[in-house]
Structure 1
């Protein structure tokens, strides 16, 4: 069985970098693309690397970003500009392969096991793609190169910005053994904390557990952990996928008991959903709110709108209305989630795209 050559390309601070490229006044300065901190306050979609030095991160409330970096500049997102850049980047990809799996406007997997130009080297192809992005778009991207999607994605994040990391086939298993559990793609803060309480700090620690052990502690995802810590990821690069729903959810370290606590968390989730919808150029007519209580009882509430939406404000307002209708007084909530569906005519011709 031949070894696959997989590249994961991730644009560096994409929205912020496009804004700095197009506006000289923003260059070298800390900027945040997203909502203004005024009034109720918005949420940061992307922060420039200058802002990240102060601890500003995506999904952070804009008011908090302003506290961390008083000189930060808030910029309203221009999704039309970002889509135009993204289409150019995809065109660069297509010079080398048609096996492209876009994850969003700013990242994608490429299978270059057999490349169009017969270059043969995935590292050389990644270098050429990065150079073309720099020359043609005046932007930078980071690349991860390896034998499967999981390792390539982690590798692309290791030397940001403008990085290129290659994990050779012979290095994959040791790489996974040394990887901190919080770096595993898909392991969130709650799961990472649970692993650490079990004295599981690295891939090597996870590797000591049997598959049954992992399933017992982490559900069906445990089977994935069992394989991936051994460097096994057979998922192919999928160029065509049909998106049926786009959503996000979060489990909280402590139960939420008041609307004052719930609204900011719901707003962060709404931002993630809005970004994903806009990245995929989708508008959904049905908003679904998911609530899981401290006793693990779970409910969903939904509302269908006359027109498709993907803007943050409408998602926030609708989700908050759905939350209030559940009468959240005197309850303890451990998880909130928002999903947009019913894309209708705006659904691209590209199974289910899991975005949780």
Structure 2
């Protein structure tokens, strides 16, 4: 991999980042919200809930994603709060992708509100790339809605295009030419780099790197040593506009590794029976997705989080997570006392079970029942408020070894019949009785890192 700087100023990638996407969709749907501070909440609207999106009218006074509803109301008494609608945002994401495709093919979709276009031939010339970017902005407004603004970054690799898209918001258009690098990004903060979060920044600070100029002053060997991995080598080249062959994209996996759902329980389900019903529904959704995506799973993980009183939190911390009457029911790493984003003081428990590759709901439900029976029952494990069910060790259907004998009770046929009805009428139309108390609970969550897939009449 050569260290020489590129000799031609070309843009190879456009990164399209929708501005305040969920809030902008709400303002498109409701003209009366336009020009007014609008924020989206992922669940029930309460002072302890967290905003998952905020319009630029909110951001202008310091209310942004992650702000608590109570704090937002204090800063903006007239704020419009909306309960997010996953299916609507998924529909708009698909509409926007189609609008972009009308101008330039979408090569990657990193998240529900981001798209990447890879430029070819003469499209890479800066004037042509800028013309394409402006045409994309116009296509989105014409085909989807006037409130849907986007910021577009143009750069010689995908990593830099992502950085450029964040440099001017809202409705920005920034290009980072190879001849301007790396000085064009020297003014940024370390946290502005994709992949550098709070913990990574702390590690860099501990190694003497606190500013972007200090990072950019390192040679390739210094970057490798700093990260202690090939990531440092890649980053060295990406920040200088080099093409490393992967364009800053995550390393692709040949096979999806897991599939699952989780849910913060509503007050009416914060009991053992309520949590079980929700866990049952999460499995019902995951099993249906497993079949729709043509996978079989060979392991299942169950995670439960419990709310604690102050006294219970002190007791759990002093015992290192051990329950006096149960011994080490969970590992200390899982039993730490933490603060949930809702403000709830919590402890957690989790267990994983392995089994023969399966994808029928009844078999998976039996595994879930076995895991559920192993959950701890100490005083600090009586108020569940979060449940997660994850199916792992996935295999494509065609790779699953055939069984000598058919499964008992024609379970595959039963699941196929359930799927046929649920695809036509909604995924909770036909289900096992255990999830009945939670039938309307645990709706499909708003997705940030993936584009939701529509199965029949529902997004999941």
TM-score range relative to shorter protein: 0.5 to 0.7
Q: Distance in 2 between matches of 1:44 and 1:184?
A: 24
Q: Give yes or no for contact 2:40–2:83 (8 Å, CA) kept in 1.
A: yes
What CA deviation, in whole Å up to 9, does each residue of 1:290-319 have, x standing for no partner?
99x99xx85693568997xxxxxxxxxxxx
Alignment of structure 1 residues 103-182 onto 2, 5 Å: 103-114=110-121, 121-137=128-144, 138=146, 139-182=148-191
Aligned residues: 293
How far the C-alpha of 1:62 sits from its partner, in A, is 2.8
Q: Which residue of 1 aligns with 2:350?
A: 301
Q: Which residue of 2 aligns with 1:61?
A: 68
How far the C-alpha of 1:217 sits from its partner, in A, is 4.5
Q: Distance in 2 between matches of 1:45 and 1:343?
A: 31
Structure 1: 5+ residue stretches without partners = 248-280, 308-320, 330-337, 348-354
Q: Does 1:27 align with 2:30?
A: no
What secondary structure is seen at the aligned counterpart in 2 of 1:200? coil
Task: Compare 148-157 and 177-186 and name the one that shifted more.
Answer: 177-186
4+ aligned runs moved over 4 Å, structure 1: 1-4, 210-217, 240-243, 281-291, 297-300, 302-307, 324-329, 338-347
What CA deviation, in whole Å up to 9, does each residue of 1:211-266 have, x standing for no partner?
5554554442433443334333532488x97644479xxxxxxxxxxxxxxxxxxx
Q: Does 1:195 align with 2:204?
A: yes
Structure 1 length as normaliser, TM-score? 0.65
Q: Does 1:88 align with 2:98?
A: no
Structure 2: 5+ residue stretches without partners = 1-5, 261-288, 306-316, 321-331, 335-348, 354-358, 362-371, 381-387, 398-448, 451-460
- Which one of the candidate residues 238, 253, 258 is aligned to 1:228? 238
Q: Distance in 2 between matches of 1:159 and 1:344?
A: 41
Q: Give yes or no for contact 1:206–1:229 (8 Å, CA) kept in 2.
A: no
Q: Distance in 2 between matches of 1:105 and 1:46?
A: 13
Q: Does 1:15 align with 2:22?
A: yes
What CA deviation, in whole Å up to 9, does each residue of 1:30-85 have, x standing for no partner?
1211134427x322111111111232222333333334433322201122222222
Cα distance change, pair 30–190 in 1 and its aligned pair in 2 (3 A): same
Q: Distance in 1 between matches of 2:107 and 2:248?
A: 7
Structure 2 length as normaliser, TM-score? 0.52
Q: Distance in 2 between matches of 1:110 and 1:130?
A: 13
The alignment yields a C-alpha RMSD, in angstroms, of 4.7
What secondary structure is seen at the aligned counterpart in 1 of 2:151? strand
Cα distance change, pair 66–340 in 1 and its aligned pair in 2 (3 A): farther
Alignment of structure 1 residues 198-277 onto 2, 5 Å: 198-211=207-220, 213-220=222-229, 221-234=231-244, 235-236=246-247, 243-245=256-258
